[in-house]
Amino acid sequence: MPLKILLIFVLLMPVLADAEGPPLVGIDSNLYPYQSQVDNDTDLTFVTNARLPARFSYFSFVNFRGATTGDDFEFSRSEQTFRWGISEKLPLDLSYQAVLIDGSGNDFTQLGISWRVHNTPGLSDLFRRINLIYRITFQLKRFGSADDKVWQTEQYFGMKFPGLSDRLYLSGFIDQTFDQVGPDALPENPVVAEVQAGFRLWKNFYGVAEYRVNDFRLGNENNLAVGIEYKHAWR
């Protein structure tokens, strides 16, 4: 694990310990031994969510490749995101995100604002009835990158189906980049998206299937990954 990521976790621990009452902390780990088209795509992922004091929250993921293919096991990408709720009454968060990418000179940070659509007055009852959460984040300013005019939208959704099965869930994200300078073959506003269906098999273990789209992976934009997920939460 890169030193930068480890440092973030170390700095986070005292904040968690000083929370008023035990915060919600959740971890997911995913292993994908099957990939349909792209052998060197992410096959091991660790995800952390934490609810912190004073309307702060933390989200991160760390991706690796080569865990199941026999190739060199290596770090691929990580995002570390801190959010702060502007108000108890407004479904808006200020966002700070550190993006760490394999290779030299690829890391950058972003500042933005996030809208929790499912917590919006007038919409929250509808989202609660259909068991859907939906968030959109506008990453408006980028630092540490040659393309400092680049900005992004990040959309996330999660849905459960209690009327069908309490073991089933659907989640995913769509990240779209604007004003990106790249090869001529790169779409004007490239998209990275994933949709994951999971089914709880036994206790905290899930079978998962994940469809991936990555416009930056020219010639291999689409991929299907199938594997096992482990989830655990502390309160």
Domains and CATH numbers, the chain: 3-234 (2.40.230.20)
In sequence order, the β-bridge partners of residue 208 are: 198, 227
Task: Categorize the per-residue pLDDT at 182 as very low, low, confident or very high, splitting at 50, 70 and 90.
Answer: confident
pLDDT at residue number 8: 53
Chain centroid, CA 143 distance in Å: 20
Ranking 5-19, 84-98, 131-145, 188-202 by mean pLDDT, the lowest is 5-19
Percent of the chain scored above 90 by pLDDT?
79
- The tokens 């299937």 sit on which residue? 209
Per-residue tokens: 162? 């209690």
pLDDT at residue number 185: 87
Q: Given a cut of 90, is residue 92 above it in pLDDT?
A: yes
The rounded distance, in Å, linking the Cα atoms of 53 and 24 is 10
**CA-based diameter of the chain, in Å?**
53
User: H helices of the chain, where?
Assistant: 3-17, 124-129
pLDDT at residue number 146: 65
Task: Categorize the per-residue pLDDT at 24 as very low, low, confident or very high, splitting at 50, 70 and 90.
Answer: confident
The predicted-structure confidence for 57-88, as pLDDT tens digits, reads as follows 999 999 999 999 877 899 999 999 999 999 99
The mean pLDDT value for 110-120 works out to: 97
Ranking 89-93, 111-115, 147-151 by mean pLDDT, the lowest is 147-151
Task: Categorize the per-residue pLDDT at 4 as very low, low, confident or very high, splitting at 50, 70 and 90.
Answer: low
The mean pLDDT value for 8-12 works out to: 50
What is the overall mean pLDDT for the chain?
90
The rounded distance, in Å, linking the Cα atoms of 58 and 49 is 6
Q: Which of 8-22, 143-157, 193-207 has the highest mean pLDDT?
A: 193-207
Q: Given a cut of 90, is residue 13 above it in pLDDT?
A: no
AA identity, residue 107 = D
Percent of the chain scored above 70 by pLDDT?
90
Higher pLDDT, 60 or 13: 60
> What SS3 state is found at 117?
helix
The predicted-structure confidence for 155-173, as pLDDT tens digits, reads as follows 999 999 999 999 999 999 9
Q: Given a cut of 50, is residue 2 above it in pLDDT?
A: no
Contact residues for 84 (Cβ-Cβ < 8 A; gap 6+): 54, 55, 56, 57, 93, 94
Ranking 13-22, 36-45, 77-86, 220-229 by mean pLDDT, the lowest is 13-22
The rounded distance, in Å, linking the Cα atoms of 164 and 52 is 33
The rounded distance, in Å, linking the Cα atoms of 93 and 223 is 32
Contact present, 160 and 167 (Cβ < 8 Å): no
Contact present, 94 and 81 (Cβ < 8 Å): no
What is the number of other CB atoms lying within 10 angstroms of the CB of residue 218? 13
